[in-house]
Amino acid sequence: MRNLYRGIRNVWRNRSRTVVVLCILALAAGLGLVMLALEEGVSSQVGAMEASVGTMIEIRPAGVYGMMSLGGLGILGRDPGTPADDPPPGLPTAMLEEIAGMPGVTTVAPYVMTIARDQATSTAGMRFARGRMVYGVAPGGDLTVLGGGQVEVVSGRGLEPGDEGMPVVVIGTAIAEREGVGLGDRLLIQDRWFRIVGLHQSALRMAGLGIFMPYDVALEVFELEGLTQIYVWADSIGRVDALRETLQGQYGEIADVVAQKDSLMGRLDEAFSSLSSASRLGLLLSLLAAGVVVFGSMYLVVRERAREIGILKAVGASPRDIVVQFGTEAIALSLAGALLGLALFVALGPAVASRVVQAAAPVPAVPRMAGEILGGSGGEALSRFGDGAFGRAFMGGGRMGMTVGTVEVALTWSLAAKAILGGLGLGLAGGLIPSLVAARLKPAEVIRRD
Amino acid sequence: MTERVVRVCGLAKSFRFGGQTVDALREVSFDLDRATLVGIVGTSGSGKTTLVNLLGGLDSPSAGEIWVDGIPVHEIPESRLSGFRREKVGFVFQFYNLIPNLSALENVALPLEFGRVPARLREERARQCLTLAGLPRERHRHPPGRLSGGEQQRVAVARALVNEPAIILADEPTGNLDSAMSRTIMKLLFSLVREHGRTVVVVTHDHELARQADRTLVLEDGRLKAG
Ligand SMILES: Nc1ncnc2c1ncn2[C@@H]1O[C@H](COP(=O)(O)OP(=O)(O)O)[C@@H](O)[C@H]1O
Ligand SMILES: [Mg+2]
């Protein structure tokens, strides 16, 4: 006990040096805490993002397309001249029933996407420019286009339960205008007549060219072998991985199974990795600096008090007594530094953190990135029907960018505990060697020195 | 009736310094009786400090045997010498060597702390020794820096006494004091022997003291000249 007492008391032996050392330690600890808080802030936001992007799993034919590309679309749209023994890849509709019966599945949504032959100009060169994107969806679900998110029905109605097998379509206002048709009119698609039951609109040009019809009708009319996608929702985020495994096991031969959270998080991780690695490096450097300071100052202390250590040993201190006393001094010193650092963190942490965030990840870059991921070329993979989560995910991305821009670095219990543990660890690590050196000093030699 | 407390036999100590070997002590043998004051004299560099350090277990001999209070000190491994010092030896150094940020009382109590003596007992015993060494009670709580040289040496003597050691080793305890102060410290050391039955070994240049001592060992170039 007295060894501890003397150790703690000795921290104040050389006041000016102790003040200097404590200032350095406090700075290092404060900075380290900012880094730790940033790291925690980022990972908790990534976690929140993960939860908000939801429980969707996408199944698509194996190896056909990674992120849906326009090249991929070409395969799916079947030209009249294409030989029948060259079937386009697709997912059998039987999967819908099977998957719906799996544990933890709440919703299964079929999806077909293809391009209709242009009735007016069927030259191959003009096909895409004047093409009609056809989306086969489950009647009753949201109308969602790949690459554009949900569309809004502006007149008439959407596709409703009971439309299965019916030649009904909801078309974009852009197509209606171009082809001179309106609500209630008939429209020729692949040599079949459809009734226009609704008109939709979207800010995106691509979406405006979209024609929605029941997926079973689309499969039949376009003579497709199967669905271009199946979307599955798990009942909880915790279930997603297991469900993805199950689906992979079941359909791995014919399909790729991707959880939305994985593909999204992979991209988001890139956005955050620079911030994360910067803060980790900062934490490491500040720990290192603090360790060197503790070590150096304890080493000086031992040299300076060599004679005194000799006296302590002469009057009966065992090597263990010496180690405990000097170890305690080191721990008290670094703990005091850590507590001062904590105070510094409370005072200046938020300001420093926002500087670091700005330096490591310019604020506008994050929402832009998220927007690109969710709404741009790759965004189609994330399009989600059924419950409008696409918008939520997009908003989530935007919101996340904002919050990272002003990452909250508040003092939490866990942070305080880490500071204290860090102080203890640093004292132990930095003070160990000097204390052992002290314990090994030969009393006869150090007392002789004058 | 005398009782032998120290027995030294064929003691030698050499130091390796740079490439050279210095024989600080060679073939030293003597016995000391309990409750005597023994003076060690000799020119500077004759090996007095080396001898005292070996007797007190601050250093280990190169050859020979040292028995203190029946304990073969030469056989104790270095890691366990601290226990021997704590229980059997009291040291008084020329430069007082008190711990500057501890009070007189705390300094005196140090050997008891390392001996894990309970706090109440420690303080009581330390106060007794300080009083015996002649430090006024109102100065017990003062740090060494506030005490005169003589007072500091009184504290050092009290510290050497506190564990009731078999031998008290004082290496030039008056070397840093004026003659008046020296005399009072010497008187104190004598009183420890005469009134309290302690065994005291004093390294000194003071021939007056050497004459008064029960016995004088003269060292010359690491050898014992007369006993
Ligand atoms: N640690 C040491 N290393 C080298 N030489 C030493 C050491 N300690 C003592 N000596 C040498 O041993 C001799 C005796 O020293 P010491 O016992 O201090 O003499 P005294 O106390 O009589 O003046 C001296 O020559 C001294 O230089
Ligand atoms: Mg000497």
Model pLDDT for residues B85-137, shown as the tens digit of each residue: 999 999 999 888 999 999 999 999 999 999 999 999 999 999 999 999 999 99
DSSP H helices, chain B, are 48-55, 81-88, 104-114, 119-132, 149-161, 179-194, 207-212
What does the pLDDT average to over A364-377?
37
Provide, as residue numbers in chain A, all residues whose Cβ is less than 8 Å from the Cβ of B113: 2
Where residue A76 falls among pLDDT bands split at 50, 70, 90? Answer: very low
Flag whether residue B122 sits within 8 Å of chain A, measured between CB atoms: no
Alpha helices in A252-305, H assignment, sequence order: 260-304
Record: contact B114-A315, CB cut-off 8 A? yes
ipTM (interface pTM)? 0.95
pTM: 0.68
Least confident among A166-170, A390-394, B61-65: A390-394
Of the segments A203-217, A225-239, A252-266, B34-48, which one has the largest average pLDDT value? B34-48
What is the spatial distance between Cα B52 and Cα A158, in angstroms, rounded to a whole number? 106
Question: Which of A198-207, A208-217, B106-115 holds the top average pLDDT?
Answer: B106-115
In one-letter notation, the amino acid at residue A117 is R
Q: Is B70 in the pocket of ligand 1 (CB under 6 A)?
A: no
Domains and CATH numbers, chain B: 36-60+77-226 (3.40.50.300)
Is the pLDDT at A380 greater than 70? The verdict is no
Amino acid of residue A148:
G
Mean pLDDT along residues A392-420: 58
Kindly indicate the confidence band of residue B161, based on its pLDDT and cuts at 50, 70 and 90. very high
Atom of ligand 1 nearest to the CA of B46: 22
3-state secondary structure B211-225: HHCCEEEEEECCEEE
Ligand nearest to the CA of B53: 1
Q: Residue A200: is its pLDDT beyond 80?
A: yes
pLDDT at residue B102, rounded to an integer? 95
Euclidean distance between CA atoms A177 and A50, whole angstroms:
41
Spatial separation of the C-alpha atoms in residues A33 and A411, rounded to whole Å:
9
Alpha-carbon gap, residue B178 to B100, rounded angstroms:
22
Question: How is chain A split into domains, by residue range?
Answer: 2-50+267-449, 56-235
Place of tokens 């050389």: A14
Distances (CA, A) of A308 to A167, A444, B89: 99, 12, 18
Strands B200-203 vs B167-171: parallel, antiparallel or unpaired: parallel
Side-by-side strand order, sheet with B215-220: B89-92, B167-171, B200-203, B37-42, B215-220, B223-226
Query: What amino acid is encoded at A366 in this protein?
Result: V
Asked whether A114 and A228 are in contact (CB, 8 A), the reply is yes
A394 confidence band (pLDDT: 50, 70, 90): very low
| pLDDT category of residue A393 using cuts at 50, 70 and 90 | very low
Q: What is the mean pLDDT of chain A?
A: 77
In the predicted model, what is the mean pLDDT of chain B?
93
Q: What's the start-to-end Cα distance of chain A, in Å?
A: 31
Give ion ligand 2 contacts, CB < 5 A. Answer: B 49
Percent with pLDDT over 70 in chain A:
72
**B159 touching A (Cβ < 8 Å):** yes
Q: What is the mean pLDDT of residues A362-372?
A: 38
What are the pLDDT digits (tens) for A172-190? 888 888 888 999 999 988 8
Q: What is the pLDDT of residue A347?
A: 87
| Ligand 1 atom nearest to CA at B43 | 22
Distance between start and end Cα atoms, chain B: 20
> Any bridge partners for residue A145, and if so which?
A149
Going by pLDDT thresholds of 50, 70 and 90, the confidence category of residue A268 is low
Q: Which residue is closest in CA terms to ligand 1's atom 7?
A: B15
What residues contact B73, with CB distance under 8 A and at least 6 apart? B54, B55, B57, B66, B67, B81, B84
